[in-house]
Amino acid sequence: MTPGRFDLNLYRGDSAAWRFQLWEDCDRLAPVDLTGAVVAAEIRDAPAGAVVMPLLCTITEPNIVDVDLPAALWPGFTPAAGIWDLQLTYAAGDVQTPIYGLVGITDDVTGSTP
């Protein structure tokens, strides 16, 4: 599976959510079977970077992944931009990354501190 690119444009401090429906084929006739899979996603300042914001992920079978960024995860995450990806680990141990992208972050105004 070649990862598809999906960039995130975030507003610092705001909640965000995305839903991804994964398919085996371009015609979207064969859903990816996520039975027994574990999903994880992170935003980092750079590949293998020390600054990490984990995203909350849930699977709805057969092929839906919901990714949430609650406002409560923002404190301590200071980069102005970053990268992210979504990684699936299947019960047999196979690992796939179906989605990746750049992360743009706009600083907030209301409630911000100097």
- pLDDT tens for the chain, residues 1 to 114: 689 999 999 999 999 999 999 999 989 999 999 999 999 999 999 999 988 899 999 999 999 999 999 999 999 898 999 999 999 999 999 999 999 999 999 998 987 776
In this structure, which amino acid lies at residue 75? P
Residue 9: inside a domain, yes or no? yes
**CATH number for position 20:** 2.60.40.10
How far apart are the C-alpha atoms of 24 and 31, rounded to whole Å? Answer: 6
Residue 63: inside a domain, yes or no? yes
Domain total in the chain: 1
Contact 66, 17 (CB under 8 A): yes
Phi, psi angles (nearest 5°) of residue 66? -100, 135
Q: What is the per-residue pLDDT for 99? A: 97
